[in-house]
Amino acid sequence: MDLIKYIFIALLLFTSCKKDKNDDSKLGSSYKNGLLILNEGLFQHNNSSLSWLDLSNKEITNNVFLSINDRPIGDTGNDMIRYGSKIYICVTGSSTLEVIDKNTLKSIKQIPFNYNNQAQEPRRITAHNDKVFVSSFDGYVTAIDTTSLSVHKRIKVGRNPEGICANNNALFVANSGGLDFDNPDSTVFEIDLNTLEVVDTFWVGANPGDVIADAYQNIYVIKRGDYESDPSELVRINLDNRTVENLEIPATSMNIRNNKLYISYYNFSTNASSVSIFDCNNQSLISSNFINSQEISTLYGVIPYKADELICLDAMNYTNSGYLRFFNSSGQLTNSINVGLNPNKIIHYE
């Protein structure tokens, strides 16, 4: 009887292991032709999440990170990029950098951002030459080796750095000073990527956030001001002559594709939304109101998608699950898909 029981248990374990292997294989091959969405969640609620949209059938699966890793991402997922075979997620409230496999979405490493037992609160991330660079509210940019996933260097910058981008051999970091709203910072630092030292400073206006580079030696910054008397606008840094110009285009976030800037603007006083398109080649505004904004409750960002199509991120009222709003090349709404709470980043798997 004991022998029969032993054989039965052994067969059960073998079947279970075999099933796990098949599930992993299926999992690894399933993430193709779709969108991976980072949902920020609510601050101090530990409810950041990932959603997966299968573009072949338009089916949405929410909470995929939780399902695969048996734990939540953490509190306040603010940024996400894909670099090489990995995806990196800044989780500000939890003060961690989550590193996951791009094919399986399994966690590879959860890197704590606590220097001298103080939470650094990572905010934004970019990559260059086998390193990822993470801005954090403690006033530093952290360079992380993408092979060892260990800290290579901490670079002192300004107060509460946020937006960050790499351009040729330089890194540009926006210092918002956002934790001191009555006295914000107004600088963008340039860091030499060879020496990892700050080499220049640009004054762009109060409370700078997003930073993006084009192919024409321009860096674009959104200076958010105070959202009232000092409006949130697009600023350009010309690296050829080292000048700064306020383009006076309303902006709260932006993305770039094919040297066109897609600029979202949400007016916190009137709750009005708009999307502008700016041509970086000839420095002209193609459209100041590309979409029908009545289709969106709270515009949280815009993602260029498939030629001239766009995905607008709708945070609704910040406490109910958000939506992806799909707009065609004519600016008309074509689809709405319910995702997680406060969607803010998308990675397109093609």
| CA 69 from centre of chain | 21
Q: How many domains does the chain have?
A: 1
In this prediction, residue 308 carries a pLDDT of 79
How far is 135 from 162, CA to CA, in rounded Å? 6
Neighbours of 226 (CB within 10 A): 13
In terms of C-beta density within 10 A (0-12 exposed, 13-18 middle, 19 or more buried), how is residue 235 classed? buried
Provide the pLDDT for residue 30: 67
Q: Tokens for 236, please give them.
A: 């350009």
The pLDDT assigned to 40 comes to 97
pTM over 0.85: yes
Residues in the chain with pLDDT values less than 70 = 1-30
User: DSSP readout, 86-120?
Assistant: EEEEEETTTTEEEEEETTT--EEEEEE-EETTEE-
List the structure tokens of 316. Answer: 């609704």
CATH of the domain at 253: 2.130.10.10
Q: What digits encode the pLDDT tens for the residues 46-68?
A: 999 999 999 999 999 999 999 99
Structural domain containing residue 13: 2-349
- d(C-alpha 55, C-alpha 181), whole Å: 41
